[in-house]
Amino acid sequence: MTATASPFPSNLSTTTTLQPPSTTDFQFPPHYFFPPFFTLQPVASTRSSQLLSWSSLIQSYCRHNRIFTLSLIDALDTPLFNNAKLSRRLTLRDAKAIISWMASPEGGNRAEFISTGTKKSGKSGGGEDEGGRAWIYWRRPEEWAAALEEWVERTGQKGTVLTLYEIAEGDASRREEFYGMDMELLQRSLGVCVKRGKAQIFGSEGSEGVKFF
């Protein structure tokens, strides 16, 4: 395959605006049905376009399905990485290469490997070595922080102490994109709000509450 014949979109950006979650089945893009899409290409320009396409697909798929962390090994058998109609799937090596690219500045820091053995995250660690779990940042923590601040403002909850459970699992947030969010990611996002001077966290680990200003 040559770069001029690349089937992968060349106009994708790492900051592409993604569509909101839908109740309909996820619609895969046309290049998902092109067999070479499932093998990372050696030509640099083609590979760059392919990585952008995979990043956009992974973000869109995870957003649609409210997936905040992805296990690469488990994902190899899901429709995200396995096109049953084509009998083509990503290898673990290529899946790790894609996530590693997404975790880089070039990839917009749209992913982050989660180190094995701990709950702490790092852009490289045991999770990467073993093809384990990674955050998929269809919104980065700072973007989630902005969304949380907007929700509090919109719903008139400034000055109210909210538990983390109320934010992630409460009836008031049921229609929000952060509903069902992993608690560690929620804490990290709230930490951004605190640094911005927009919130204060109370209580001990496991029983935190947060008040927005």
pLDDT band at 73 (very low <50, low <70, confident <90, very high): very high
The CATH classification of domain 141-212, taken from the options 3.30.70.2860, 1.10.10.10, 3.30.565.10, 1.20.1050.10: 1.10.10.10
As a whole number, the mean pLDDT across the chain is 84
Per-domain residue ranges for the chain? 27-136, 141-212
Give CA torsion, residues 22, 23, 29, 32, to 10 deg.
130
DSSP, collapsed to helix, strand or coil, labels residue 69 as strand
Model pTM?
Answer: 0.80
pLDDT at 24: 54
| H-only helix segments in 65-116 | 72-75, 92-102
State residue 69 phi and psi, 5-degree precision: -125, 145
Tens-place pLDDT, residues 45-59:
999 999 999 999 999
Q: Cβ–Cβ contacts within 10 Å for residue 195, how many?
A: 11
pLDDT at 14: 34
State residue 160 phi and psi, 5-degree precision: -95, 135
Tens-place pLDDT, residues 186-202:
999 999 999 999 999 98
**Which superfamily, per CATH, for 27-136?**
"Winged helix" DNA-binding domain. Chain C. Domain 1 (1.10.10.570)
